[in-house]
């Protein structure tokens, strides 16, 4: 948490906790010519959730693009793109790709919940990180003879090309519910 707050201070971003935000609003990023402000709902008690929301709002600072076209539909598309960029920035910030690959390579007990706890993120954040990694590459090298396979995401595998066996990281049932969740919009406010 301190690292996020230090980064915000370094970038000159003001930070405020508020108990006056509506319950549905966890936080927001505000920018104008003279201010960059992140306001967070003080009612958020879970530190993991707070870190994700704060990093998401910080992601807006680093990734937001201003829409100059006045069409309402174009503005909505730009807002959605900005949200995805902020979510991706937060996932990349909270879960370093190389650190994740090292964890997968070092352990024989591959469990999504354990990995999420290790990185102090929610299961949803880890799943989003894997989704974004799958967009970058379908195959990630772990060690000299192992690969982390994301080509069938949301099902992921660790495999050694010299062997015919695949080791599924999680059961298919767990991913079906995540795939269904992907169909509904993910919002971090």
CATH assignment, 2-92: 1.10.10
Cα 116 versus chain centre, distance: 11
pTM of the model: 0.75
pLDDT value for 187: 37
Return the half-sphere exposure (C-beta side, CA atoms, 13 A cut-off) of residue 9: 6
Residue 180 near residue 122, CB atoms below 8 Å? no
pLDDT value for 33: 82
Mean pLDDT of the chain: 81
Q: What is the pLDDT of residues 87-125, one digit of tens each?
A: 999 999 999 999 999 999 887 777 889 999 999 999 999
Does residue 35 surpass a pLDDT of 90?
A: no
Does residue 69 surpass a pLDDT of 90?
A: no
- Delimit the domains of the chain by residue range: 2-92, 96-183
Residue with tokens 């379908």: 138
């Amino acid at each position: 948490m301190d690292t996020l707050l230090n980064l915000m201070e370094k970038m000159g971003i003001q930070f405020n906790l508020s108990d006056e935000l509506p319950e549905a609003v966890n936080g927001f990023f505000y920018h104008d010519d003279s201010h960059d402000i992140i306001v967070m709902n003080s009612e958020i008690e879970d530190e993991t959730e707070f870190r994700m929301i704060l990093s998401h709002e910080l992601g807006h600072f680093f990734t937001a693009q201003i829409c100059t076209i006045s069409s309402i539909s174009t503005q909505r598309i730009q807002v959605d793109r900005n949200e995805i960029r902020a979510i991706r920035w937060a996932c990349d910030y909270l879960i370093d790709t190389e650190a994740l690959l090292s964890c997968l390579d070092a352990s024989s007990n591959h469990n999504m919940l354990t990995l999420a706890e290790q990185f102090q993120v929610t299961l949803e954040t880890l799943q989003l990180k894997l989704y974004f990694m799958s967009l970058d590459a379908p195959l990630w090298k772990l060690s000299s003879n192992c690969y982390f396979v994301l080509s069938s995401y949301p099902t992921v595998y660790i495999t050694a090309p010299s062997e015919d066996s695949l080791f599924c990281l999680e059961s298919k049932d767990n991913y079906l519910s995540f795939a269904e969740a992907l169909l509904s919009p993910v919002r971090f406010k």
